[in-house]
Amino acid sequence: MGAVRSTLAPLAGETAVDLTAGMGGHAIELGRAIGDSGTLVLCDLDPANLARARANVLASGFSGQVVESAGSYARVPQRLIEQGLRADCVLGDLGFSSTQVDDASRGFSFRRDGPLDMRYDPASGASAADLIASRAEEELADLIYTFGEERRSRGIARKLVVEREREPITTTGRLAEIVRSVVPRTPGSRIDPATRTFQALRIAVNDELGHLRLLLETVERAAGATNGRGSWLAPGARIAIISFHSLEDRLVKRSFAELGKRDIAKVLTRSPLTAEEDEAQSNPRARSAKLRAIRLAPPT
């Protein structure tokens, strides 16, 4: 939280955009800083989380303007332009929220049996069960290897194909058992052998890297033209992205470094900021979080 506030440095009256509002924790912090004269834009691909974020922000006492943008954050730039808004600070806190992983009916967790879904937006796109049913063995192996960094991806894909021929794989419990039958538990490790395969499927189902690439492209385009009309980013805008996976972090790092090299933005984080010890203790997921931030060139 502290790192988000210090890098974005939101000021009273500004327009702050939370691209991944989740339960509204960060949005509430941003709202406190921009105050009653500020505009808070909330986006989430998961309609239930967007409603939660809005309710929590309002319950926090924020009485500035709240603008909602349902759907992918990659669409936010266009929506801001349509509404004549320009962002002064933008936050993306990527990946999933605890509300999603703790709810068995959403199908994200190997710890809770439920339908094998994993879509952030339960109303659109193909589920993890559809993906496993429809992809060729080699494609499954490649995505489990790339997005999960799972060395036994070929063996897992082989077993998935054998098992899906016996009976469609439609529950998280069955998928976890299949993966565990191929990947042995590392002695002394508390990490479930199914962890990497579940991560890989979640990233693929939600095209997480595709959405991030689109967002970074719009940041790059707008950064080159902040003083021009029609940009969704105000001159001097700050942008912070928290990622949890090396592939995401690499995309953010390259994009921000390129903007820095072209002198149209200043990189505010030479090395990524990571969770403080107390936060990493209380929230194990925070241990892999990396925050990178830039500030666009100020008004001329």
Ligand X SMILES: C[S@@+](CC[C@H](N)C(=O)[O-])C[C@H]1O[C@@H](n2cnc3c(N)ncnc32)[C@H](O)[C@@H]1O
Instruction: Return residues touching ligand X (CB under 6 A).
Output: 20, 22-26, 43-46, 49, 72-73, 93, 95-97, 120, 206, 211
Closest contact distance (angstroms) between CB of 231 and ligand X is 21
Q: What tokens appear for 153 in the block?
A: 């991806």
3-state SS of the chain: helix, strand, coil percent to 5? 50, 15, 35
Closest contact distance (angstroms) between CB of 121 and ligand X is 8
Closest contact distance (angstroms) between CB of 173 and ligand X is 23
Which is nearer to ligand X, 62 or 96 (by Cβ)? 96
CA distance 264 to 296: 6
Closest contact distance (angstroms) between CB of 211 and ligand X is 4
3-class SS at 41?
A: strand
Which is nearer to ligand X, 22 or 148 (by Cβ)? 22
Closest contact distance (angstroms) between CB of 18 and ligand X is 7
**Residue closest to ligand X (Cβ):** 22
Which is nearer to ligand X, 20 or 127 (by Cβ)? 20
Beta strands in the chain (DSSP E): 15-18, 39-44, 65-70, 87-93, 233-243, 265-267, 290-296
Which is nearer to ligand X, 227 or 246 (by Cβ)? 246
Residue 35, Cβ neighbours under 10 Å: how many? 15
CA distance 173 to 5: 40
Which is nearer to ligand X, 4 or 265 (by Cβ)? 4
